[in-house]
Structure 1
Amino acid sequence: MKLLSLISSGKDSWYAYYLMLQQGFDIPVAVTFIPKNPESYMLQHPFAEKTPLQIKNMKSPPRHVLFNVSGVKEKEVEEMKSHLEKLVKAEKIEGIISGALASEYQKQRLDLICEELGVVSYAPLWHKDQERYLQEVVLEAGFEFLIADTCAEGIEKWKGRMINPENLGHFIKDLRKARANISGEGGEYETFVTKSPFFEMSKV
């Protein structure tokens, strides 16, 4: 089964890709949407344009396609659908992978896009326990990531810092103290993956 993976450069999209690879799926295409509007409801804005650096560092990279979109609420959904429709037909794609974790807004719209394109919507992270999820990503799968941006009060000091096994516990503690979303849902913090099991060099 040929799948297309939506990759933003952050931990959620890359971990979703990783989980589907682990299940033996063929993922020949990765797509990154770069929103012009930093307040996009659907897409990560910080560091999305740097996704090619990650792709170049992969041991077996998929074909990577970048699209610029407006990032305007609802309009961007139609733009995403239009771009994906062409790829789905050209590459004979049967399913689309997303890193949707807790946002009903994003999940509903991604599911609708997939339904209208006649493909399966895969969201392997959907409704995972968020603290357990972070532990899986960093402690078990071996990912490390940069905190590319923060908007939640109380965690500003983490912007520009790497999250790794040594400081994950401290990071989670500060998130709890700040009453911030543990997984960064809603853009409370954004990430850029620098280390993963499928990157060739130790770090991007």
Structure 2
Amino acid sequence: MKVCVLYSGGKDSTYSLHWAVFKGFEIKCLITLLPEKEYSWMFQVPNVELTKYQAEVLGYNLLQIKTSGIKDRELKDLKIAFIKAKELGAEGIVTGALLSDYQRLNINLIAEEVNLKTYSPLWRKNQEEYLREIVKEGFKFIITSATAYGFPFHLLGKVIDEQDVEEIIERARKYGFNPAFEGGEAETFVIYAPLFKRELKVEGYKKKISEYEWRFIITHIH
């Protein structure tokens, strides 16, 4: 099966890419949608333009497509991306959808319109166990934004280890946010994974947006 992977640079899309490789799928390209607005209903916004660095260390072609970020119009942009994927020879699309019915439903519907199969290996996976598993398997990622009451904001910009995972899970249980961030509580950026040829070194700084919203601004990658 030849597939393209919807790739945001975060932990979920990176994990799904690795799942596809180890299932024997042929990766034709990575697809990154670049929202022009600060917030998007469908796509990750922080640092998605930096997926070019991840694609380089992964050794895959990257298709970056701008999208308006407007709720209905961005679905048309997604369809354009899928059509381009099919032109590259893809027969299916792999997604990192974990819990969002809105995202998964729209991806499936648009893929069906252009006759592409969809694969969402993380769908409805246990959130806590998944977070523990991904760190144990050697994935290194940083949190680049967080918007949730009770979130451990001091972890922004830090490579998340097993101890940090337990702190996130404990806070999630106490304050009610999603421990794997599928509700938009946080966004991540992967700096190393088992298929990376080398680790990315990231520099940046924390920025407080409001009492319950922080971001880690990446200023340099080498």
TM-score where L is the length of structure 1:
0.93
Q: How does 1:1-204 map to 2 (within 5 A)?
A: 1-58=1-58, 61-88=59-86, 90-139=87-136, 141-155=137-151, 156-204=153-201
Q: Within 2, Cα distance between the matches of 1:170 and 1:111?
A: 34
Aligned-pair Cα RMSD in Å: 1.3
Q: Within 1, Cα distance between the matches of 2:195 and 2:161?
A: 17
Q: Within 1, Cα distance between the matches of 2:8 and 2:162?
A: 23
Q: Within 2, Cα distance between the matches of 1:178 and 1:56?
A: 38
Deviation for aligned residue 1:92:
1.8
SS in 1 for 2:41: coil
TM-score where L is the length of structure 2:
0.86
Asked whether the 8 Å contact 2:31–2:81 carries over to 1, the reply is no
Q: Within 1, Cα distance between the matches of 2:141 and 2:45?
A: 16
Q: How many aligned residue pairs are there?
A: 200
Question: Highest relative contact order (Cα 8 Å, sep 6+), 1 or 2?
Answer: 1
Q: Which has the higher strand share?
A: 2
Asked whether the 8 Å contact 2:82–2:111 carries over to 1, the reply is no
Residue deviations 1:134-177 (CA, integer Å, cap 9, x gap): 112111x2101110000111113322222123422222222222
Task: List alignment gaps of at least 5 residues for structure 2.
Answer: 202-222
